[in-house]
Amino acid sequence: PVAKTAIEKADSNAEKLSFIVEEMSAVVGGIKTGVKRIVKVVDSLKAFSRKESAEKIPFNLLDSLETALVLCKRVMNNNVVVDKKILESSFCVLGDSQQIEQVLINLFVNATDAMEGQKDAKITIDIRDVNGAITMRVYDNGPGISQETLEKLWEPFFTTKEAGKGTGLGLPIVRSIIEGHNGQIDVQNRAEGGLEFIIQLPAYANGD
Ligand SMILES: Nc1ncnc2c1ncn2[C@@H]1O[C@H](COP(=O)(O)OP(=O)(O)OP(=O)(O)O)[C@@H](O)[C@H]1O
Ligand SMILES: [Mg+2]
């Protein structure tokens, strides 16, 4: 009988073990997803706290725009039309062009997400010099946002996206970068529908 219980015990342990083995791949998958998410949040937080550290170099805002558009091409996936209303060939800004690319990428990805499944999805970028201030409007023809969302839009970790998709750090990073460039950013719903971001950056003139 002792041997019998030992065998039974071994059997039930084996059963437990096989159960663990079966679950293992799902568990590992869950861990991988979790780690990916943590990496994303940590990267975002790094970008968020970087602010002043970058070296300031003059660059053409239109070059950053082109780079951002190339990097967003896959996300936009031919579903989003990009309309550029830009009359000049150069808008010189003093700062970190990669950070400004990051700003544009965050805005483009947000707009693309907001217009998911929409047929006539369009992002418009309007850049002009208004009395020495570079004024860049980035707007979409998506659903816009409610008053409630508008009030929380700049809060770190505020997101309406499903868990695992958005971290809610995109717009806080955008604002922190623009302010780090002595600029300003505002947001409003458009009368025609869609959301509009208005960014003002000091124009850099030689000898500044
Ligand atoms: N163009 C837009 N149209 C409609 N809603 C928007 C738009 N841009 C941002 N939002 C709203 O603002 C929220 C916050 O945006 P934010 O970029 O800070 O975070 P996220 O996109 O949710 O996540 P993350 O950028 O960190 O991946 C979004 O979840 C969305 O609800
Ligand atoms: Mg975002």
**Beta carbons of 124 and 165 less than 8 angstroms apart:** no
Pocket test for ligand 1, best of 42, 152, 159 (most atoms within 8 A of CB): 159
**Beta carbons of 181 and 192 less than 8 angstroms apart:** no
Average pLDDT, the chain: 90
pLDDT, mean of residues 2-27: 80
- Give whole-number Cα distances, 93 to 84, 109, 139, 173, in Å: 19, 23, 21, 19
pLDDT, mean of residues 156-163: 90
Euclidean distance between CA atoms 44 and 60, whole angstroms: 25
pLDDT, mean of residues 143-160: 95
pLDDT, mean of residues 171-183: 95
Euclidean distance between CA atoms 202 and 69, whole angstroms: 22
For residue 208, is pLDDT > 70? Answer: no
Euclidean distance between CA atoms 31 and 26, whole angstroms: 9
Q: What is the pLDDT of residue 193?
A: 95
Residues with CB under 6 Å of ligand 1 are 106, 110-111, 114, 140, 142, 145, 149, 153, 158-161, 166-171, 195
- Output the CA 27–ligand 2 centroid distance in Å: 28
pLDDT confidence tier of residue 101, bands split at 50, 70 and 90: very high
Query: Ligand 1: which atom is nearest the Cα of residue 172?
Result: 18
Query: Ligand 1: which atom is nearest the Cα of residue 110?
Result: 8
Q: Per residue in 30-89, pLDDT tens?
A: 888 888 888 888 877 777 666 555 689 999 999 999 999 999 999 999 899 999 999 999
- Output the CA 182–ligand 2 centroid distance in Å: 22
